[in-house]
Amino acid sequence: MLPPLLLQTAAPADDLAQYIPIIAMLLIGGGIAAGLVVFVSIIGRRKVSLVKGTPFEAGSVPVHGAWRRVHVRYYVVALLFIVFDLEAVFLVIWAPLLQELGLYGLVVMGLFVLLLAIGLAYEWGKGALNWHENESREVSSRS
Amino acid sequence: MTEAVLFWILAVLAVIGGIGVIASRRAMYSAMSLVWTLFCLASLYVLLRAHLLAALQVLVYAGAIMMLFVFVVMLLSMTDEEKGKARASGYGIAGSLAAGTILVGVAFAVAGQPSPEGPLAVGTVRAVALELYTEHVLAFQVTAVLLLAAIIGATVVAIRRI
Amino acid sequence: MNIFQSIGDQLIGWLFEVDPATWPYTYLVYALLIALGGGLTFGFVAIFAGPVTWVERRVAGRMMSRIGPNRVGPQGVLQWLCDGLKCWMKEDLVPACADRPLFRFAPYLVFGGMFGTFAVLPFGANIVATELNVGILYLLAVTGFVVIGMLMAGWGSNSKWAMFGGIRSAAQLVSYEIPVAFALMTVVLVAGSMSLQELVLGQGGMPWEWFVFRNPFLFAAFFLFFTAAIAEGNRTPFDLPEAESELVAGYNVEYSGMRYLFFMFAEWANLWVMSAIATVAFLGGWQIPGVSPEVIAASEGWTFVGWQALSVAIFVAKASVLVFFVIQLRWTLPRLRIDQLMVTCWKYLVPLSLACILGVLVLMLLIPEGSLVDMLLRVVMLAVGLAIAITYLRKVRATYLATRETYRNMEGKDQWYPAYRLP
């Protein structure tokens, strides 16, 4: 006979033990992956040749390396991401408290979201969200 | 005891990452070392029972901010000639001095503090959020203005004609 | 206290009949159990990722009026083993001008980031490795490692295709993380907690108790979440990072052998992860219809184990339906262009998900839970959901019948696979 387990709905906040499985998971996942790669590289034969070492370019010989400048639009995406990521974080920690804070909480968050919505609207209006707005500035293909 | 051991391991790992950030010749290595440092710092926050801060550290810094750094590194894509030779210029000395001063200051500030006893309940989502939305609500709103400025700045950078 | 500790305590008490608190080897048992749990999860990922590739290829074959892999084993079910074995045999190539450390390390980061999400996924009533009260934030944070891993792979390869694939993947993943976070916000609002287990407990076993059918805005949020999650998982129609027709393969062009296998692992397991999160957040998770969590907690012995097994089965069944749906989607829709992809995210999904949050807020304030209007709304939404599902099934059936008819007319005899011979 197995004795009953308790249904743990909420782990106590002050408990480092809840992070052990996460660390273990990352270590085991990474460990098995690395172990397999090493194992295969040990049993496998390795032969280096010029052609094998060339980056794949569908048969043609690469004319230069790939570390060229990328377009500035990726920077815009990253910045937008940071802004909205922060907004999401603020929203997510605010959500469980909504019942407590009541209307006050609603106003506070409303103002916050409104400001960021203005930012998004500004980007939209200026066309910064259009990926191909400034096609001629594709730096990575030239230079 | 376990915590002290964990703290020292993580602290040393974080410092190693920090050294990697300034010692790497390749900007991409510096960025990756920074990811490592930030991850170690998040683990230190977990030791402090600052669960929310730990999650945010990984989510916002190791995730979002690092993305921006990596994109900027790729955007600039400096070649070795452009970077020039490593040199111990006045900047290096001034930077070391400043860092040393801060280190000494922090050490003095921390040494005077008594270490808290018993479990802390200040790092949970609830505690932080309550504090943030009542006590520090002005700072929270100013954050929105700051983020708005960041959006507008990015637009100005990216669009040729405003 | 997590599941490993409670199982460990009971195992010790059961097998050795000593008090786990004072027994010296307790931590050894915990460690062994955690290792076992990790190994089981890895096994699950492998067992899921492998056969699903076969299922996907058979479904693709069916949808394209061809057969698909059918040589290795009965109906080709062992095809995935061959594919896996092939990767074991391959040489682990590193391009000559690649950045070796980054190139080598990237697959672990991508795989680890995906594998880490399994730590908080509640598979059953008690079958969850750990329960963080910052569960949703943890999920979003771990996804960040996948992004960094892809950037590392793309940049470290020093190949133009890989580079473009890498930065595009990164841009896509981070952009679609915003709608995912916002859509999950709606359920966090309703459940009042960020822990995934609490999200499940906030719902019930019956469909009208699920979050998705609670009100129109949650219903919309489910579709927004699922769309964005498909993009997060790099699946068609958002599989730009590995668009074979324009980028050859994306960030993993230069990889071969085991490292390539782990990228593929991560991708296929991601299919599971996103379906599982959708199930947990919107579709009632592991909740057994008609059995409340208290009943499960109060049960003893093998009854308890039975409930656990049933809850896992229900969870897996729900998630599998979504997985199958995503597979079908891949062979139905064309791929988006990169500019369309970004516009879809920032101009449609983000504002719409914000509107969903607003709507959920308003409805939460206006309609108290359990009131007549609330019940009515749930029934109406359930009816809408059922109507959509039935329409979908009828369309699939009509297409199937039409194709069979075409074959009959073409060949003069019934050469089509019967429907039951799935896939």
Q: What is the DSSP string of A76-135?
A: HHHHHHHHHHHHHHHHHHHGGGHHHHHHHHHHHHHHHHHHHHHHHHHHHHHTTT-TTTTG
pLDDT of residue C225: 92
Kindly state whether residue A88 falls inside one of the protein's structural domains. Answer: yes
Q: What is the pLDDT of residues B50-64, one digit of tens each?
A: 788 888 888 888 888
Residues B25-57 as b or e (16 or more Cβ within 10 Å = b): ebbbbbbbbbbbbbbbbbbbbbbebbbbbbbbb
C43 and C125 share one domain: no
Q: Residue A25 is nearest to which of C129, C257, C341, comparing CB atoms?
A: C129
Q: DSSP string covering B100-139, please?
A: HHHHHHHHHHHHTSPPPPS---SSSHHHHHHHHHHTTHHH
CA atoms within 13 A on the CB side of B93: 3
Q: Report chain B residues whose CB lies below 8 A from the CB of A86.
A: 60, 64, 143, 147
C395 to chain A nearest CA, in Å? 35
CA-wise closest residue to C29 among C15, C40, C41, C43 = C15
C155 to chain A nearest CA, in Å? 7
What is d(CA B33, CA B15) in angstroms, rounded to the nearest whole number?
A: 10
Q: Residue C193 is nearest to which of A74, A80, A96, comparing CB atoms?
A: A96
ipTM for the assembly: 0.80
Q: What is the pLDDT of residues C264-305, one digit of tens each?
A: 888 888 888 889 999 998 888 888 888 888 887 777 778 888
Choice among B147-151, C242-246, C395-399, C416-420 with the minimum mean pLDDT = C416-420
pLDDT of residue A21: 78
What is d(CA C337, CA C343) in angstroms, rounded to the nearest whole number?
A: 10
Q: Of C52, C68, C89, which residue is a domain's last?
A: C89
CA atoms within 13 A on the CB side of A16: 14
C75 and C185 share one domain: no
Q: Of C33, C63, C89, which residue is a domain's last?
A: C89
Mean of the pLDDT values across residues C390-418? Answer: 76
CA-wise closest residue to A19 among B6, B149, C301, B136 = B6
- CB pair distance less than 8 Å for A122 and B155: yes
Kindly state whether residue A89 falls inside one of the protein's structural domains. Answer: yes
Mean of the pLDDT values across residues A94-108? Answer: 81
C423: preceding bond cis by omega (within 30 degrees): yes
Q: Report chain A residues whose CB lies below 8 A from the CB of B125.
A: 93, 96
Is residue B140 pLDDT above 70, yes or no?
A: yes
Kindly state whether residue A138 falls inside one of the protein's structural domains. Answer: yes
pLDDT of residue C418: 57
**Total domains in the fold of chain C:** 3
Token pair of C356 as six digits? 């969903």
pLDDT of residue B80: 60
Q: Residue B65 is nearest to which of A82, A101, A133, comparing CB atoms?
A: A82
A56 to chain C nearest CA, in Å? 7
Q: What is the pLDDT of residues B65-79, one digit of tens each?
A: 888 888 888 877 766
Kindly state whether residue A140 falls inside one of the protein's structural domains. Answer: yes
Count, residues in chain B: 162
pLDDT of residue A61: 74
Q: Report chain A residues whose CB lies below 8 A from the CB of B75.
A: 69-72, 74-75
C-alpha of C69 from chain center: 24
Residue A141's pLDDT band, with cuts at 50, 70 and 90, is very low
C11 and C160 share one domain: no
Q: Report chain C residues whose CB lies below 8 A from the CB of A32.
A: 39, 42
Domain carrying residue A123: 68-143
Which region, left, alpha or beta, applies to residue C232 given φ > 0 means left and ψ of -120 to 50 means alpha? alpha
What is d(CA C154, CA A66) in angstroms, rounded to the nearest whole number?
A: 10
- CB pair distance less than 8 Å for A72 and B158: yes
Q: Report chain A residues whose CB lies below 8 A from the CB of C184.
A: 92
Question: To the nearest whole percent, how much of chain C has pLDDT over 70?
Answer: 93
Touching subunits of C (3+ CB pairs, under 8 Å) are A, B
pLDDT of residue C414: 58
pLDDT of residue B37: 92
Choice among C105-109, C390-394, C411-415 with the minimum mean pLDDT = C411-415
Is residue A1 pLDDT above 70, yes or no?
A: no
Contact A60, B128 (CB under 8 A): no
C196 and C61 share one domain: no
Three-class DSSP category at C380: helix
C171 and C315 share one domain: yes
SS3 letters across A9-32: CCCCCCCHHHHHHHHHHHHHHHHH
Mean of the pLDDT values across residues B104-128? Answer: 74
Q: Residue A93 is nearest to which of B128, B153, B157, comparing CB atoms?
A: B128
User: Residue C31 — φ and ψ, nearest 5°?
Assistant: -60, -40
Q: Which residue did the predictor score with more confidence, C70 or C176?
A: C176
A4 to chain C nearest CA, in Å? 5
What is d(CA C400, CA C260) in angstroms, rounded to the nearest whole number?
A: 36
C251 and C351 share one domain: yes
pLDDT of residue B88: 60
**Total domains in the fold of chain A:** 1
Contact C305, A98 (CB under 8 A): no
Contact C254, C364 (CB under 8 A): no
What is d(CA A85, CA A107) in angstroms, rounded to the nearest whole number?
A: 20
What is d(CA B135, CA A108) in angstroms, rounded to the nearest whole number?
A: 12
Q: Which residue did the predictor score with more confidence, B128 or C218?
A: C218
Is residue B28 pLDDT above 50, yes or no?
A: yes
Mean of the pLDDT values across residues C332-356? Answer: 85
C19 and C98 share one domain: no
Residue A53's pLDDT band, with cuts at 50, 70 and 90, is confident
Question: To the nearest whole percent, how much of chain A has pLDDT over 90?
Answer: 0
Kindly state whether residue A96 falls inside one of the protein's structural domains. Answer: yes
C27 and C105 share one domain: no
Residue listed under structure tokens 């040749």: A49
Q: Report chain C residues whose CB lies below 8 A from the CB of A93.
A: 194
- CB pair distance less than 8 Å for C141 and B55: yes
C324 and C396 share one domain: no
pLDDT of residue A7: 36
Residue B98's pLDDT band, with cuts at 50, 70 and 90, is very high
A42 to chain B nearest CA, in Å? 28
Q: Which residues contact C297 (CB under 8 A, 6 or more apart)?
A: A4, A6, A7, C125
Q: What is the pLDDT of residues C179-207, one digit of tens each?
A: 998 998 888 888 888 888 888 888 888 88
Judge residue C8's burial from the number of C-beta atoms within 10 Å of its C-beta, 0-12 exposed, 13-18 middle, 19 or more buried: buried
Q: Report chain B residues whose CB lies below 8 A from the CB of C144.
A: 58-59, 62-64, 66-67
Q: What is the pLDDT of residues C136-185, one digit of tens each?
A: 888 888 888 888 888 888 888 888 888 888 888 888 888 888 899 899 88
C420 and C322 share one domain: no
Question: To the nearest whole percent, how much of chain A has pLDDT over 70?
Answer: 80
Mean of the pLDDT values across residues C208-220? Answer: 87
Domain carrying residue C129: 91-365
Kindly state whether residue A103 falls inside one of the protein's structural domains. Answer: yes
pTM value? Answer: 0.86
What is d(CA B60, CA B71) in angstroms, rounded to the nearest whole number?
A: 15
Q: Of C318, C343, C365, which residue is a domain's last?
A: C365
Residue B13's pLDDT band, with cuts at 50, 70 and 90, is very high
- CB pair distance less than 8 Å for A69 and B129: no
Contact C191, C199 (CB under 8 A): yes
Q: What is the pLDDT of residues C232-260, one digit of tens each?
A: 887 777 777 666 666 777 788 788 888 88
Q: Residue A76 is nearest to which of B3, B49, B158, comparing CB atoms?
A: B158
C13 and C47 share one domain: yes
- CB pair distance less than 8 Å for B63 and C147: yes
Q: Which of B61, B136, B147, B161 to mutate to test the interface with A (most CBs of A within 10 A)?
A: B147
C85 and C96 share one domain: no
pLDDT of residue B83: 61
What is d(CA C155, CA B43) in angstroms, rounded to the nearest whole number?
A: 27
- CB pair distance less than 8 Å for A40 and C93: no
Residue B134's pLDDT band, with cuts at 50, 70 and 90, is confident
Nearest CA in chain A to C99: A67
Residue C384's pLDDT band, with cuts at 50, 70 and 90, is very high
Q: What is the pLDDT of residues A20-35, one digit of tens each?
A: 778 888 888 888 888 8
